[in-house]
Amino acid sequence: MAGLDDVFGDLFTSVDAVVLFSPSGSYYERFMAVDELDLVVVGTENDVGAETFVELPLEFAAITDRIRFGLEGALDQGVIEDGDDLACATSVFSDEIDTVSRVRADAETQTGIYDLFAKSRADPEVVKAVLEVAIELGKKGQKGKPVGALFVVGDAGKVMNKSRPLSYNPFEKSHVHVGDPIVNVMLKEFSRLDGAFIISDAGKIVSAYRYLEPSAEGIDIPKGLGARHMSGAAITRDTNSISIVLSESDGLVRAFKAGELILEVDPEAY
Ligand SMILES: Nc1ncnc2c1ncn2[C@@H]1O[C@H](COP(=O)(O)OP(=O)(O)OP(=O)(O)O)[C@@H](O)[C@H]1O
Ligand SMILES: [Mn+2]
């Protein structure tokens, strides 16, 4: 009877590199013995001390997001090349690696998920912190009731010029940064309020209660989404900001950059 190698073999034969997603130390060790192998590790921490590592901002629940981020990051770092065939080893159903997918690196079909964090005006840590706050808000809501929120991150000066106050700005005299622990409590309170949060490149909350006034000409957003998403997408085309929008109506968190929807995550999956 043909061995499984003969059946599954073509999945792995002549791959240009192996990409391990959050491997355990023992799993990683196995690959040390394989000679002539290009190995890339992708994860939130490089706890195996891999030479070639792409840092994930968070362990994306959607495996496609994880693989896209890892390959776009590896292409950007030049550790793989456009057209490379890769064996991507991930954990889908358990904590251990249990799935291998053969994926071709294609520079043409960049989703922009890596660039959203690594190549936006705002620091990657700031983008990550805002995404985490939006996910947290999505999970917890406001005393259990679903809430919506709109965060505009980066290029704050220009964003402020393309928006107006809906009310006094509670952050006027404060120096609160989006990663500060106090933010988690405050934002829950503030998320009841209208308007957008404006966050600087370095993560300072410049303003709340802002009404964005970008031109929405030609902006395409998923059907069923309204003004919060339209303005959140449009502002990222009129300025060098990115936006992270938590929808009150469907509970999803979406990220926009250059007017395009780049990432969509379900807070329930985190
Ligand atoms: N231009 C804007 N600038 C800032 N905030 C806005 C803007 N337009 C709408 N919002 C905010 O979004 C809230 C929800 O508006 P709307 O329901 O039209 O948006 P949506 O895209 O459907 O969002 P959701 O999915 O959360 O319902 C408004 O109450 C307001 O706080
Ligand atoms: Mn709505």
Residues 130 and 251 in one domain: yes
Under 8 Å between Cβ of 101 and 67: yes
Residues 188 and 244 in one domain: yes
ipTM comes to: 0.99
Quote the pTM value: 0.94
Give the chain's domain count.
2
If we measure between CA atoms, which residue out of 105, 151, 109 comes closest to residue 129? 151
Under 8 Å between Cβ of 105 and 84: yes
The SS3 of residue 211 is: strand
Task: Please report which ligand is nearest the Cα atom of 231.
Answer: 1
Looking at the CA of residue 212, tell me the nearest atom of ligand 1: 3
Q: Which of 151, 169, 228, 266 to mutate to test the pocket of ligand 1 (most atoms within 8 A of CB)?
A: 228
Q: Is 215 in the pocket of ligand 1 (CB under 6 A)?
A: no
Please give the average per-residue pLDDT across 29-43, as a whole number: 91
Residues 257 and 173 in one domain: yes
Looking at the CA of residue 213, tell me the nearest atom of ligand 1: 1
Q: Is 252 in the pocket of ligand 1 (CB under 6 A)?
A: no
Task: Provide the 10 A C-beta neighbour count for residue 36.
Answer: 4
Please give the average per-residue pLDDT across 148-168, as a whole number: 97
Q: How far is the CA of 249 from the centre of ligand 2 (A)?
A: 6
Q: Is 231 in the pocket of ligand 1 (CB under 6 A)?
A: yes
Looking at the CA of residue 250, tell me the nearest atom of ligand 1: 25
If we measure between CA atoms, which residue out of 28, 36, 26 comes closest to residue 53? 28
Q: Which of 114, 133, 165 is the last residue of a domain?
A: 114
C-alpha 51/C-alpha 65 separation (Å) is 23
If we measure between CA atoms, which residue out of 246, 265, 263 comes closest to residue 134? 246
The pLDDT-based confidence of 74 (bands split at 50, 70, 90) is very high
Question: Which CATH number is 182's domain given?
Answer: 3.40.1700.10
Give all strands of the β-sheet with 260-265 in edge-to-edge order: 163-165, 205-212, 196-199, 149-153, 242-246, 253-257, 260-265
| Average pLDDT score, the chain | 93
Task: Please report which ligand is nearest the Cα atom of 226.
Answer: 1
Residues 131 and 75 in one domain: no
Question: Which CATH number is 84's domain given?
Answer: 3.40.1380.20
If we measure between CA atoms, which residue out of 234, 185, 52, 44 comes closest to residue 125? 44
**Please, is 152 exposed, middle or buried when counting C-beta atoms within 10 Å of its C-beta (0-12, 13-18, 19+)?**
buried
Residues 186 and 102 in one domain: no
Q: Is 90 in the pocket of ligand 1 (CB under 6 A)?
A: no
Q: Over the Cα atoms of the chain, what is R_g?
A: 21
Structural domain range at position 207:
120-269
Residue nearest atom 7 of ligand 1, based on CA coordinates: 228
Q: Which of 82, 114, 146 is the last residue of a domain?
A: 114
Q: Is 189 in the pocket of ligand 1 (CB under 6 A)?
A: no
Q: What is the DSSP letter of 204?
A: B
Please report the pLDDT score of residue 2 as a whole number: 67
Q: Write the CA distances from 11 to 39, 40, 68, 86, integer angstroms.
A: 17, 18, 19, 9
Please give the average per-residue pLDDT across 132-149, as a whole number: 88
Looking at the CA of residue 194, tell me the nearest atom of ligand 1: 31
Under 8 Å between Cβ of 61 and 266: yes
Residues 84 and 179 in one domain: no
Q: Residue 263 contacts by C-beta under 8 Å, 6 or more apart in sequence?
A: 65, 111, 113, 116, 254, 255
Q: Write the CA distances from 53 to 25, 38, 57, integer angstroms.
A: 14, 12, 13
Please give the average per-residue pLDDT across 7-12, as a whole number: 82
Residues 48 and 19 in one domain: yes
pLDDT at 180 over 80: yes
Residues 256 and 148 in one domain: yes
Q: Is 247 in the pocket of ligand 1 (CB under 6 A)?
A: yes
